[in-house]
Amino acid sequence: MRVLVLYNKPTLPADHPDAVSEADVLHTVDFVAAALAQAGLAVDRLGLSEDPRPLLQWLDQNRPDVVFNLFEGTAGRGETEAFAAGLLDWLRLPYTGAPPAAMLLARDKALAKRLFRGAGLPTADFVVVHAPTDPVALTQWPAFVKPAAQDASVGIDHGSVVRNETELRARLRWLADRYPPPYLVETYLAGREFNVAIIDDPEPTVLPLAEIIFDRGQPDLWPIVSYASKWAPGSREDLAALPRCPADVEPTLARTLADLALAAYRLVGCRDYARIDLRTDESGQPFLLEVNPNPDFGPEAGLARALKASGRDHAAWTAALCQRRAGEGSRGTARTLGEHESV
């Protein structure tokens, strides 16, 4: 069986503040290619940047049995992540991971939160802002401010939590200088943070839960997952927000988290694997933060930790996923948007 590993070719200069998160895909490509080769599969690699034509030209000359889709979108145009999957769908070529609709919906965090609310799933109160001077009606402080169409914690640091109108306006101006609108202003949830990895096995299956363990003894650091805590290993922010998988969580809360994550996974239309992020308020009530179709697939990422905690071998599961997707076809077990279970 022949597999094409498709990925986004890093283009940001090394000194760009978001370059590390973009370049991380190269390590994931190496892992996936090695796992597939170890399973006896023939592997090709193709990196795309702004021009999609090299993909079409390559496929015209070399049609693989399946594409392992690691394409995360181009720098500055994250929506192209879904466009690549759309091209593969159009060509009726099997590929791993989420379909285009799930990617587009999840990337638009404000739209996803509206969908959660419409389905009766809990999410923090929020306001969508398009300019730093837009009116923002908040019922309580602090608030959390982030770009509404970025992922990988891009645009998030310890200035993202604001305590008053002055800090809010300053943060919105800071974001407007760096990232396109819209921006999301939501109620800050002061409780615990959890990641729930889900895989199709073949039905959606919740893996052992992970919790981010925050060092709450540092007054200048909010208990949040910032860009630095994800992409600067060994940094002060990284050491103040360490993942624990499996999480030490009481059974009732664990069931609620799993149910909410499964409902969101199905609602958004995820496929093969995803990570759902949740956070509790001070009373322990959980709320959905966001859904991440095709999250970081690397050997050090949260999905890998959850697979290991479940007793699965990451490399072997990678090859099995590829073989199953090739056998089922490009649409496979893709779900209709809106298919979900009540919680």
DSSP 28-82: HHHHHHHHHHHTT-EEEEEEE-S--HHHHHHHHH---SEEEEE---BTTBTTHHH
User: Are 292 and 307 contacting, i.e. CB atoms less than 8 angstroms apart?
Assistant: no
User: Are 122 and 116 contacting, i.e. CB atoms less than 8 angstroms apart?
Assistant: yes
pLDDT greater than 80 at residue 307: yes
CA distance 171 to 176: 9
Q: How many CB atoms lie within 10 A of CB 231?
A: 21
Tell which residue, 210, 254, 218, has the closest CA to residue 239.
218
pLDDT value at residue 251? 97
Q: Residue 334: pLDDT band by 50, 70, 90 thresholds?
A: very low
Q: Which CATH number fits domain 123-187: 3.30.1490.20, 3.20.20.70, 3.90.78.10, 3.40.50.1370?
A: 3.30.1490.20
Across the range 159-182, mean pLDDT stands at 96
pLDDT value at residue 76? 76
pLDDT digits (tens, 9 = 90+) for 109-123: 999 999 999 999 999
pLDDT value at residue 330? 53
Tell which residue, 220, 191, 199, 211, has the closest CA to residue 311.
199
Whole-prediction pTM: 0.92
Q: Residue 297: pLDDT band by 50, 70, 90 thresholds?
A: very high
pLDDT value at residue 331? 56
Across the range 2-12, mean pLDDT stands at 94
Lowest mean pLDDT among 73-82, 163-172, 198-207, 302-311: 73-82
Question: What's the N-to-C CA distance of the chain in angstroms?
Answer: 41
Task: Indicate the helix (H) or strand (E) that contains 325.
Answer: helix 314-328
Q: Residue 188: pLDDT band by 50, 70, 90 thresholds?
A: very high
Q: Residue 332: pLDDT band by 50, 70, 90 thresholds?
A: low
User: Are 78 and 151 contacting, i.e. CB atoms less than 8 angstroms apart?
Assistant: yes
CA distance 28 to 291: 20
Across the range 5-24, mean pLDDT stands at 90
Structure tokens at 267: 């609602």
List the domain boundaries for the chain.
2-97, 123-187
Q: What percent of the chain has pLDDT over 90?
A: 83
pLDDT greater than 90 at residue 26: yes
More confident position, 14 or 36: 36
pLDDT greater than 70 at residue 222: yes
pLDDT value at residue 342? 44
Of 114-118, 331-335, 338-342, which has the strongest mean pLDDT? 114-118
pLDDT value at residue 340? 46
pLDDT value at residue 152? 82
pLDDT value at residue 292? 96
Tell which residue, 300, 306, 331, 293, has the closest CA to residue 70.
293
- Domain 2-97, what fold? Rossmann fold (3.40.50)
284 HSE (CA, 13 A, CB side)? 6
